[in-house]
Amino acid sequence: MDNWDFRLVDYWDQTTSAINRSTLRLSKLGEPERKAACGQIRDAVRMRVHDLADEQLLQAVVSMVDDLYKYVNEEVLMAAALFEYLDAFGRTLTQAVRERGYVIRYVVENQFSGVDFLMLGPFDVFPRVFNAAGFVYICPQQLSLHLMQHDGITASEYPWAIAQYITEARHSGDRIVIKCHDEGQHYVFLEADYQEGALDIALRGGGAPGVLSIFRDDAPVAGSEVFVGFPEQKLGG
């Protein structure tokens, strides 16, 4: 069997295209071998996490979720093996964080060039990637599209219809965030067309026990930074 026992960061390091490289490796395996490899990844991640103090684990999580965001903004190798790999390393890591008594709240304010990229990335690939890694994904603009489609408006009409739906979509997104707060779920919140107050609910609770807050308003390029608020206590502390 191939070796899948890496340093923790090597499962996702975007500077080495780790996710695409591992996805390609998995894609070349038959189904039984791929399942076995994912099992080896889960075991290895659990072992690495077991050896980390809480502070080290949370630092690793900041690296992981921000690299995932950089990843979805670059070239994504779309294959069934990708989501199996994300589940194997990503969900295993986020579950371990929750078991330690912490929740991850990753909030992004970024704009994107063109409706085509919105449809492909923030409205399709982004949620699939982050869901596979154990996050609830919330994007008001994506929710607007869902509301439009419910009313029979096609995706091609999005640029002209968004203004009619964005307020309702933001309220819907805030309700999902509040549910995540109440239930202690990890989430990624993406605001793709910022207006004053649009992030108030998503950013609420930073500094609360158990809450790892990560905020990005720079483009996800090399050398860019995120703002991080590390919790001083566990949930319920």
CA distance 116 to 195: 22
pLDDT band at 114; cut points 50, 70, 90: confident
Pick the range with the lowest mean pLDDT from 57-61, 86-90, 205-209: 205-209
The first and second tokens of residue 183, run together, are: 């239930």
Confidence bin at 195 (pLDDT 50/70/90): confident
As a whole number, mean pLDDT of residues 206-213 equals: 92
pLDDT at residue 1 is higher than 60: no
Q: Which DSSP string do the residues of 169-225 spell out, in sequence order? A: HHHHHHHHHHHHHHHT--EEEEESS--TTTTHHHHTTTTSTTEEEEEE-S-S-TT--
Beta-strand pair 227-229/211-216: antiparallel
- How large is the average pLDDT for residues 109-137? 95
Question: How do residues 148-172 score in pLDDT, each as one tens digit?
Answer: 999 999 999 999 999 999 999 999 9
**Amino acid letter, 19:** I
